[in-house]
Amino acid sequence: MAGLAEITGKTCLITGGASGLGALYAEAFLREGAKHVAILDIAEDKGKETAAQLNKTYPGKVVFVKCDVSDEDSISKSFNQVVDTVKQLDVVINNAGILNDSHALWRKSCDVNWQGLVSFSMKAVKHMRKDEGGASGTIVNIASVAALIPVGSTPIYNGSKAAVLHFSKSLSQPPFQETTGIRVLTICFGPTDTALMTELNGRVYDQKVGEGFSTVIQEIITMGAESAVAAFMAMFKNGPNGSVWLSEKNLPVQDITPKLEAYYKSFTG
């Protein structure tokens, strides 16, 4: 069955794209025929390295732009730089994320996971919307299974990811796509074998409450990065506007929108 979205010839911006799943999304889009991919990250050396490696296989198709997703000025400058370079953005993937509820970093985590994602989404809407001269497009927001279930050790991270999920569902409500031509997708990943899942005991909000958190997570079946990317690509190609997808335990990706819609309907009648 033909998918809803083509990747060939499209331009894409990926936050947190220097390494991990972000870099793998970039490679997957290029493999599928993307015209240009802009990877944004605060890790400048790694970002330049990743862009150089990808450009060896896909010459001239990848650009790296340094961006601090927790800082609005940095977001604005980097977004404008990408648009100036590629002229038209078709896809924005809000992938940057931090799991750190510690006293020192919880606010920065919220700024990256939530405020930065909203900022990039709103800039994408303004740039893409067909009713104001744009060419339409897709916004993909990376949530987490943490948006769906409570975890006592990381209430701040869970709260930020729940906000991402609800923001995406609210933004995509009719007549959003009909008016703007923009599709909004959300994916919730279970624990995945990336750097985000390392040294977890030091990233809980309270050591007494979070004692053993890392051990508990490791006992859960951790998904491989390849499975996560395959799930992401399946969602991107086939997901209708407003849909929410779940990927965990190396299982096939699931469209959980009907379950969420049934839950919402129980309140609205």
- 229-250 confidence digits (pLDDT tens): 999 999 999 999 999 999 998 9
Number of H-type helices and E-type strands within the chain: 10, 8
CA distance 42 to 112: 11
SS3 for 16?
coil
pLDDT digits (tens, 9 = 90+) for 182-205: 999 999 998 877 665 556 666 676
**CATH code, domain carrying 156:** 3.40.50.720
Q: Is residue 54 part of a domain?
A: yes
How does DSSP classify residue 197?
G
Q: Is residue 62 part of a domain?
A: yes
> What is the residue-wise DSSP string for 36-60?
EEEEEES-HHHHHHHHHHHHHHSTT
Burial of 36: CB neighbours in 10 Å, binned 0-12, 13-18, 19+: buried
pLDDT the model gives residue 215? 53
Q: Give how many domains the chain has, as a whole number.
A: 1
- Token digits of residue 94: 């809000």
Residues of the chain with pLDDT under 50: 1-2
CA distance 154 to 101: 6
Q: Is residue 226 part of a domain?
A: yes
The angle that helices 225-238 and 20-31 make with each other, rounded to 10 degrees, is 50
Q: Is residue 237 part of a domain?
A: yes
pTM confidence score? 0.93
The residues that are catalytic are: 157
Q: Is residue 1 part of a domain?
A: no
Q: ∠88-90-96 over CA atoms, to 5°?
A: 110
Q: Which domain does 120 fall in, by range?
A: 11-268
Q: Is residue 6 part of a domain?
A: no
How many beta carbons lie within 10 A of that of residue 142, not counting itself? 26
- Token digits of residue 133: 């001269």
CA distance 247 to 252: 7
Q: Is residue 183 part of a domain?
A: yes
Which residues, 6+ apart, have CB-to-CB distance to 203 below 8 Å? 99, 100, 101, 102, 105, 154
